[in-house]
Amino acid sequence: MHDIKNLRWFCLFLFTLFVSVSKGNASDAKSSQKENIDRFIQHHLEDDYYFSLFKDEENNLTYGFPLPVILIDEGINIFSSSRFIHTDGPVQIEDKFYRIDHNKIYRTDGNGDKLVEANKFVKPIDLSITKNVVGLILTAGLMFFMFIALARSYRKNKLPQGFGRVLEPLIIYVRDEMAKPNIGSRYQEFLPYLLSVFFLIWILNLIGLTPLGFNITGNITVTLCLALFTLIITNMKASRSYWKHIFWMPGVPIPFRIALMPIEVIGIFTKAFSLMIRLFANNVAGHTVIMGLIAIIYLLNNQLTLGGSIAVSLLLTSFLFIIKLLAAFLQAYIFTMLSSLFIGLAVQEDEHH
């Protein structure tokens, strides 16, 4: 997390250098530009209760559509997120008041001040359909459509048809290059999960490059959930040999077995933690840099002509966009490969002589 913040501030520092060579820019204008860029990048990285398509800065208008807010707070409260936008103060639902602060919903009093109980702010259980949830539903629906169509084409023609010809090589690749080598004879037992997680991450990364502005795999709760699935499957299907190596490692003197046991137990969780952080950090860093490079067009408007600033911005952004296309596949590959490797290490049975 600290490295990601440093990257964002490095981008802002780079933009400040561009602004410093512009003619006739005051120091307060530079500060305002930096704040706008940072706010723009932060808004793109965060989840949102309102699906914003684009914003008219001159008229301060946001074009998009509201999403449903679902709160569990002494009952179920469902209302439109537009109420937060069209209300200056807190939103009143029956006898309760709510407001959004740093993209989280808090219960407040009638004046909008947060309520505190036991030295903690009062927050309802939030099950809202946010922008990331919409992206996940869209991706899940797309995956169901693709794989059901592929299964039907196999059933009818014994060969894939249409877009299924693109899916088949990827499925074979996951099976032959990840599942079989790492898991062995039991690969078919885990192949559905590996295929699901591979295509889910790949498609989520691809739609994150569209103008819709999704950053789903850059949300740490999403990567945490994926890593937990790998952790649970790995340990629930683990063999006796796997647990023996963790709690009482064979072939090692007893004092060293006792010393190694806590290290091996910690290793169970560090594997899942590495999966979570790797996917999260790569996507956040990539989106931060892309959004920063796009902002150059606004920072160079006084130094270059409009066409020149657009050319510079598009050149840099297009290069990074191509890199992100490759990274979209690479991140799905790495997560799936490491998941299959962890599962394979857990299910194999070793013989000690």
Pairwise pLDDT comparison (133 vs 6), residue with the higher score: 133
Quote the mean pLDDT of the chain: 79
Tell me if residue 215 falls in helix, strand or coil.
coil
Q: Say which range, 18-22, 110-114, 161-165, 348-352, has the weakest mean pLDDT.
A: 18-22
Q: Say which range, 166-180, 254-268, 307-321, 337-351, has the weakest mean pLDDT.
A: 307-321
**In whole angstroms, how far apart are CA 106 and each of 71, 113, 121?**
10, 9, 7
Neighbours of 194 (CB within 10 A): 24
The residues facing 83 across adjacent strands are none
Give pLDDT tens digits for 287-313.
777 777 666 666 665 565 666 666 766
Query: What global pTM score does this model have?
Result: 0.79
Spatial separation of the C-alpha atoms in residues 296 and 316, rounded to whole Å: 10
Spatial separation of the C-alpha atoms in residues 88 and 39, rounded to whole Å: 20
**In whole angstroms, how far apart are CA 271 and each of 66, 94, 148, 239, 345?**
38, 46, 33, 17, 12
Position 156 pLDDT exceeds 50: yes
- Can you read off the two tokens belonging to residue 235? 């340990």
What percentage of the chain carries pLDDT values higher than 90? 21
**In whole angstroms, how far apart are CA 33 and each of 24, 27, 224, 310?**
14, 10, 34, 18
Position 58 pLDDT exceeds 90: no
Position 343 pLDDT exceeds 90: yes
Taking CB atoms within 8 Å and a gap of at least 24, the contacts of 162-170 are 170/198, 170/199
DSSP 100: E
Spatial separation of the C-alpha atoms in residues 176 and 300, rounded to whole Å: 50
The residues facing 114 across adjacent strands are 108
The pLDDT value recorded for residue 228 is: 94
Confidence class for position 38, pLDDT limits 50, 70, 90? low
